[in-house]
Amino acid sequence: MNFYKIARPILFRLDAERAHDLTLRGLRIAQRLGITSFLSPGHSKEPVKLMGLNFPNRVGLAAGLDKSGNCVAGFGSMGFGFVEVGTITPVAQEGNPRPRLFRVREHEAIINRMGFNNPGIETALDNIQKSRKGFEGILGINIGKNKKTPNENALDDYLHCFRKSYTHADYIAVNVSSPNTSGLRELQTPKFARELLSPIMDEREKLKEETGKSVPVAVKIDPDMGTDQIKELSELFIELELDAIIATNTTVSRDSINDHRLSTETGGLSGSPLNEKSNEVIAKLHTELKDKVPIIGVGGINSKEDAQEKLSAGASLVQIYTGLIYQGPSLIKELAEL
């Protein structure tokens, strides 16, 4: 039975953020009762080796859905081979005022300006420790900076979260691409990116010696940068020996939904209208990175064919968020067969 076919019309009648909260609450309860696997059992094919880790399949949950780390095993039992929690910042913050999440249904898209609402790193790690019990996939922790921290001090925030997360995460994703924290994307300019990523990679070496564990570091980039910036950043990623690039975050462009009444809402656009744009970035990255740094492809995946296009453009793994909202958990099962 496709449970989501019944649930979706009910959820879509609710305000988008309320539907989101209710779903996560339900998943959390189901997870506690140990009944989440009935939703959609995982169908792993061959494990995929990437960043020195063994991924049970190629499909992951993109950052932003489990911002608090409360539902890791719940999402795992829906079939995800990996789950990326966050974005998490050093201190708890509420994010932007509501409404801040909009369904653009005609385009199978979402506009969000959540603004890193999250419980802060300490609480999130407590949550993760509890909710990952029984999870057999790979856990990513996605880190960012607090809104009140100026870019000059951003490194302190990232290093704080990096150190705290280190022994909990299978990989850590450095998010410098959300459009909803003012100035964050400036951290992707090659100068800032070096000042941020180089000390993080040095810190990894230190922590590796201290703990005996080497945690891979991924960077998440936006889909709105030009070819020159992709080229320059790729050179930096190769030089610093980053372990993966996650491409892409949401777009600030409205080109593909210009006629829609919600197109003037500020925030990042995800889902179908992002698909092609993210594929273009993946393809350019793939050319520049020359297989030296692997790519995790994300943006607008709604079907197996969409995911296959990302793999053909050069991604090794894929992640979904908006596609899960529109298609339901059966999409995970389909993608796990890739």
Ligand X SMILES: Cc1cc2nc3c(=O)[nH]c(=O)nc-3n(C[C@H](O)[C@H](O)[C@H](O)COP(=O)(O)O)c2cc1C
270 is a contact residue toward ligand X (CB under 6 A)? yes
Backbone dihedral angles phi then psi of residue 82, each to the nearest 5 degrees:
-150, 150
320 is a contact residue toward ligand X (CB under 6 A)? yes
> How many amino acids of this chain bind ligand X (CB under 6 A)?
28
Residue 144: helix, strand or coil by DSSP? coil
Residue 189: helix, strand or coil by DSSP? coil
Q: Which is nearer to ligand X, 160 or 239 (CB)?
A: 160
| 165 is known as an active-site residue | no
64 is a contact residue toward ligand X (CB under 6 A)? yes
321 is a contact residue toward ligand X (CB under 6 A)? yes
36 is a contact residue toward ligand X (CB under 6 A)? no
Q: Which is nearer to ligand X, 218 or 289 (CB)?
A: 218
Q: How far apart are CA 114 and CA 117, in angstroms?
A: 6
142 is a contact residue toward ligand X (CB under 6 A)? yes
Binder of ligand X out of 59, 83, 184, 274 (CB under 6 A):
274
Long-range contacts at 94-99 (CB < 8 A, ≥ 24 apart): 96/180, 98/17, 99/15, 99/16, 99/17
Residue 315 beta carbon to ligand X: minimum distance, rounded to whole angstroms: 12
Residue 317 beta carbon to ligand X: minimum distance, rounded to whole angstroms: 13
63 is a contact residue toward ligand X (CB under 6 A)? yes
Check if the beta carbon of residue 249 is closer than 8 Å to that of residue 221: yes
Binder of ligand X out of 89, 127, 234, 250 (CB under 6 A):
250
Backbone dihedral angles phi then psi of residue 60, each to the nearest 5 degrees:
-120, 160
Q: How far apart are CA 107 and CA 109, in angstroms?
A: 5
Residue 110 beta carbon to ligand X: minimum distance, rounded to whole angstroms: 4
Residue 175 beta carbon to ligand X: minimum distance, rounded to whole angstroms: 4
24 is a contact residue toward ligand X (CB under 6 A)? no
Residue 40 beta carbon to ligand X: minimum distance, rounded to whole angstroms: 17
The binding track of 109-128 with respect to ligand X, each residue x by CB under 6 A or -, is -x-x-x-x------------
Binder of ligand X out of 161, 296, 298, 331 (CB under 6 A):
298
| Residue given tokens 């795992």 in the structure block | 76
Instruction: Render 209-221 in DSSP notation, one character per residue.
Output: HHHS----EEEEE
Q: How far apart are CA 196 and CA 174, in angstroms?
A: 10
Radius of gyration of the chain (CA): 18
| Residue given tokens 């949401």 in the structure block | 250
Which of 13, 148, 126 shows the shortest CA–CA distance to 68? Answer: 126
- Binding stretches for ligand X (CB under 6 A): 62-64, 67, 86-87, 101, 110, 112, 114, 116, 142, 175, 178, 220, 249-250, 270-271, 274, 298-301, 320-323
Active site residues: 178
